[in-house]
Amino acid sequence: MKKIFLLSIIFLFAVVISCSKRIPSEKGGIDIISNVYFNASRGLDNMRSFHVSKLNYKHDSIIEMVPELEFPEMTKVTYFIKDSVFYVLENDHAAALLAEVQKKQKPILVYRKNAGAIFTKDQILNYRNRRNLSDTILFKKHYKRFEINSPWNYTRYYIYPTDTILPYSFYKEVDNDYHGRIERIDSYDKQKDIFVSMQLIPRKNWDLEAEEIFKFNRYIESRKKK
């Protein structure tokens, strides 16, 4: 009887774990957009929009294209990111053999990358002093929210509840605590009177350049197996 009871407890525990397991997204893209409003207290007319990064992923492999700030239709630099390191892809990156790039280049930790999507281990400043807000609907999506207020800054975070894990996240600790991902951060610098809205926009499709890289490497890998 004790064995049956013990097995029942183990089974129940396994079910709870499996139900709470989050699922990594296999492929897709992420755009990071930043809107900056100057002299925000006087209105929102003085604004600039920046396409910070175009991330394209396949499992744990990421092709990141960093657009030129002044000419976002042009790519400033292209990175290949694998796990926690990155490599710089040269001019003819459409025909880049990613396996060869990893052999020839010395890997650099993503936390040292200073362009495009920024990876950080730092926690949100004053995270413990956050205040939860009521849920809201934004662009037809449901979001959880919290705010952090200080004498210098006011910041509001929007979390989209989901079991799907993307290979890039603003802050992992928030994703875990709220069982979702941050898709928007609104921050107001009270001293400089600057309002910044940072958005993480997931998408299903790759950018054309990234698609060419992934397809070329898949083709080379399939040839090697024959």
Which has more pLDDT, 93 or 125?
A: 125
Q: What is the pLDDT of residues 166-220, one digit of tens each?
A: 999 999 889 999 999 999 999 999 999 999 999 999 999 999 999 999 999 988 8
Please, which pLDDT band fits residue 94 given cuts at 50, 70 and 90?
Answer: low
H/E segment holding residue 201: strand 194-203
Please, which pLDDT band fits residue 139 given cuts at 50, 70 and 90?
Answer: confident
Specify the pLDDT at position 224. 73
- Is residue 111's pLDDT more than 80? yes
CA distance 91 to 132: 46
Interior/surface letters 180-192, b for 16+ CB within 10 angstroms, e for the rest:
bbbbbbbebeeee
Q: What is the pLDDT of residues 30-75, one digit of tens each?
A: 999 999 999 999 988 899 999 999 999 999 899 999 999 888 889 9
Q: What is the pLDDT of residues 2-32, one digit of tens each?
A: 444 333 333 333 333 334 467 889 999 999 9
User: Which residues lie below 8 Å from residue 192, measured CB to CB, with a gap of 6+?
Assistant: none
CA distance 30 to 74: 17
Domains of the chain by range and CATH? 23-220 (2.50.20)
DSSP letter assigned to residue 19 = H
Specify the pLDDT at position 11. 35
